[in-house]
Amino acid sequence: MARLLDIENLTVSFPTPRGRAEVVKGISFTLGRERLGIVGESGSGKSMTGRSILKLIRPPGRVTADRMTFDGIDLTTQSERDMRDIRGARISMVMQDPKFSLNPVMTVGEQIAEALVTHKKLPRREIDERVIAMLEAVRIDDPARVAGLYPHEVSGGMGQRVMIAMMLIPEPDLLIADEPTSALDVSVQAQVLDIIDDLVRDKGMGLILISHDLNLVSRYCDRILVMNAGTIVEECAAGQLENATHPYTRGLLAAMPTIDEAREELPVLDRTLWAGT
Amino acid sequence: MSAITLSDLDISYGDTKVVHAINLDIAEGESFALVGESGSGKSTVLRAISGLAPDWEGRISVLGKARSHGVDRQVARHCQMVFQDPYGSLHPRKTVDATLSEPLAVHGLSNRGPRVEAMLAAVGLDRRFRFRFPHQLSGGQRQRVAIARALMLEPKIMLLDEPTSALDVSVQAEILNLLKRLRREQGLTYLLVTHNLPVVSFLCDRLAVMRHGRIVEVASVAQLKAGALVEPYSKELLAASGGHAQTVST
């Protein structure tokens, strides 16, 4: 499989009064046209990993890597101007909360069109058609009406679908979804992930799904990286999650209550073993 | 005696009626869950009981006494609420000590210092956290403070509004264990609002499924565990989170 993304020794650090704090400590991984899940708790560095691929970490944060290539392009040497051609067009990112990530003073249709217009020159009529088609693809009923609504007029699940539409309309090669469903209801979560899943499969894109929910990731990904305190502690195929060996992964799995819970007490992670989280 | 009885309860926000004709009876010492999607009115029921949504009709009784529409000190004394987001529910410029002492001051209780210390110990927080501000605590520690604040008046009923959904999985396990232990030690009654069915399975005895402001089904947790919910909507909810359970057990 052709490598879409190749990352070696990625480090992200931020300055603190006591020297620089490394939030991602030299991780390496590769990605083909597959679905990769990155799992970890708050502060494990999973979102920072996603953001550093798009070079979205601003000073004083600092990103270093021995190698960071995307489809043959060396991301570490790209200028801001070059990155603008990559962001959205080649790699795009779905954020956690539609409430804060959509522009409140633009209609849904305008925002989706903007993603397209920025990267391609197309006649107005075709843009409108593609916006409507994209809204249909994310399973929004009556797309013509929804395109004219403002973000506050749509529900959370719909807002997240609008964001997915916006991110997929330039047909990127890689989609980074950073906790795309944690602001949504359980029943809507499955719908949104199914949509992402279908679109990613149809278009043969690469997907990085960042989440704190082990089970969710194991359902929607081929491969899983488990992160803790800035390092990758375990890498496994999604189906092999129960056979995970690292104590942190096992601890996370055990700490989750199940629907037929019979345990009197849930096992708790001993945090002293992994100082820093 | 029933801890909470709701009869023909309608709750409105302005002109919009969001909860329709709720009838519920929760026994003392029981742990009861309200589940449903966002907008189903489950949190609104808690808010009406605690007095935060005063625009209701029908009858709410707490420990056998009817609740008034205004500020009800007796209800506040016996019935306390823990909110979803520990980042938003604690006053950012008050220390843990001030937060925990406030309910005592409001209700004119003395012996505040020792009570605060005892409560910190009960929720598993070290003494050194007493004079810290919320921003100096982690999410799990803040939720512990929020639970301690609710327990300061030694209430009999705790209203829990998604107490763990803003927390990490491993921290959620700690808080769920804490809630279970506190209930056992102090004989508390819980009314829990959540959309996480595994949490219900761990912490509760009975549940009610809500949709569009109405109760669709009341079931026991044994039924939930066996997957024997009757209504199609409850089954749908179970299927949406049931996938989680399957991937764990298989």
Average pLDDT on B75-83 reads: 90
Check pLDDT > 90 for residue A203: no
Q: Inter-chain contact A259–B244, Cβ cutoff 8 Å?
A: yes
Whole-model pTM? 0.80
Judge whether A124 lies within some domain: no
Distance CA B25, CA B22 (A): 10
Q: Which is more confident, A30 or B239?
A: A30
Distance CA A203, CA A220 (A): 16
Judge whether A169 lies within some domain: no
Which position has the token pair 């949509």?
A195
pLDDT tens string A123-138 = 889 899 989 988 888 8
Q: Inter-chain contact A260–B225, Cβ cutoff 8 Å?
A: yes
The separation between the first and the last C-alpha atoms of chain B, rounded to the nearest angstrom, is 42
Distance CA A194, CA A135 (A): 15
Q: Inter-chain contact A260–B37, Cβ cutoff 8 Å?
A: no
3-state secondary structure (DSSP) of residue A11: strand
Q: Is A275 on the interface with B (CB under 8 A)?
A: no
Distances, alpha carbon A109 to alpha carbons A143, A156, B25, in Å = 9, 16, 48
Q: Is A190 on the interface with B (CB under 8 A)?
A: yes
Helix (H) or strand (E) holding A85: helix A80-86
Q: Is the dihedral of CA B172, B177, B182, B188 positive or negative?
A: positive
Share of chain B above pLDDT 90, in %: 48
Q: How many domains does chain A have?
A: 1
Cβ-based contacts of A214 with chain B (< 8 Å): 169
- Residue whose C-alpha is closest to residue B226's, from A205, A83, A262, A27: A262
Residue B62: left (phi > 0), alpha (psi -120 to 50), or beta?
A: beta
Residue of A nearest to B179 (CA): A265
Residue A163, min C-alpha distance to chain B (Å) = 20
Check pLDDT > 50 for residue B245: no
pLDDT at B248: 38
Angle (CA) B86-B37-A253 rounded to 5° is 60
Cβ-based contacts of B249 with chain A (< 8 Å): 258, 260
pLDDT tens string A144-202 = 888 899 988 887 778 888 888 888 888 888 999 988 887 777 777 787 888 888 888 88
Domain boundaries, chain B: 2-243
Q: Is A251 on the interface with B (CB under 8 A)?
A: yes
Nearest to A265 among B177, B240, B243 (CB): B177
Average pLDDT on A223-228 reads: 90
pLDDT at B53: 87
Average pLDDT on B136-157 reads: 90
Q: Inter-chain contact B224–A212, Cβ cutoff 8 Å?
A: no
Q: What is the CATH number of domain B2-243?
A: 3.40.50.300
List the B2-13 sheet strands across, edge first: B16-27, B2-13, B56-62, B65-66
Check pLDDT > 60 for residue B246: no
Kindly state the DSSP code that residue A128 receives in the 8-state scheme.
H
Cβ-based contacts of B204 with chain A (< 8 Å): none
Check pLDDT > 80 for residue A2: no
What secondary structure, in 3-state letters, does A187-241 show? HHHHHHHHHHHHHHHHHCCEEEEEECCHHHHHHHCCEEEEEECCEEEEEEEHHHH
What is the band of A276 on the pLDDT scale with cuts at 50, 70, 90? Answer: very low
Average pLDDT score over chain B: 88
Contact B50, B79 (CB under 8 A): yes
pLDDT tens string B222-232 = 988 888 888 88
What CATH number is given to the structural domain containing A69? 3.40.50.300
Cβ-based contacts of B174 with chain A (< 8 Å): 268
**A208-212, A239-243, B25-29: the lowest-pLDDT one:** A239-243
- Its domain, for residue A223, covers 1-88+211-277
Judge whether A44 lies within some domain: yes
Share of chain A above pLDDT 90, in %: 16
Average pLDDT on A61-66 reads: 90
Chain B residues with a Cβ under 8 Å from any Cβ in chain A: 37-38, 139, 168-174, 176-177, 180, 195-199, 201-202, 224-227, 236-238, 240-245, 247-250
pLDDT at A217: 87
Average pLDDT on A205-221 reads: 87
pLDDT tens string A73-99 = 888 888 888 888 888 888 988 887 777
pLDDT at B242: 61
Cβ-based contacts of B240 with chain A (< 8 Å): 186-187, 189-190
Angle (CA) A41-A42-A47 rounded to 5° is 95
What is the band of B244 on the pLDDT scale with cuts at 50, 70, 90? Answer: very low
Contact B35, B209 (CB under 8 A): yes
Check pLDDT > 70 for residue B249: no
Cβ-based contacts of A156 with chain B (< 8 Å): 38
Q: Is A273 on the interface with B (CB under 8 A)?
A: no
Nearest to A187 among B173, B176, B236 (CB): B236
Task: Give Cβ neighbours of residue A199 (< 8 Å, ≥ 6 apart).
Answer: A137, A138, A164, A168, A205
Which position has the token pair 């719909």?
A158
Q: Inter-chain contact B240–A186, Cβ cutoff 8 Å?
A: yes
Check pLDDT > 50 for residue B138: yes
Q: Is A113 on the interface with B (CB under 8 A)?
A: no
Q: Inter-chain contact A269–B238, Cβ cutoff 8 Å?
A: no
Pairing of strands A67-70, A62-64: unpaired
Distance CA A2, CA B192 (A): 50
- Residue whose C-alpha is closest to residue B24's, from B48, B49, B4: B4
pLDDT tens string B80-128 = 999 888 878 899 999 999 999 999 999 998 889 999 999 998 888 888 8
The two three-digit tokens of residue A8, written as one number: 């070696």
- Residue whose C-alpha is closest to residue B50's, from B176, B142, B161, B129: B161
What is the band of B160 on the pLDDT scale with cuts at 50, 70, 90? Answer: very high
pLDDT at A273: 52
Judge whether A134 lies within some domain: no
Average pLDDT score over chain A: 85
Average pLDDT on B8-18 reads: 89
Burial of B139 (0-12, 13-18, 19+ CB in 10 A): middle
Concatenated DSSP letters of chain B? -EEEEEEEEEEEETTEEEEEEEEEEEETT-EEEEE--TTSSHHHHHHHHHTS---EEEEEEETTEEPPSS--HHHHHHEEEE-S-HHHHS-TTS-HHHHHHHHHHHTT---HHHHHHHHHHHTT--GGGTT--GGGS-HHHHHHHHHHHHHTT--SEEEEESTTTTS-HHHHHHHHHHHHHHHHHHT-EEEEEES-HHHHHHH-SEEEEEETTEEEEEEEHHHHHHT---SHHHHHHHHHHHHHHHHHH-
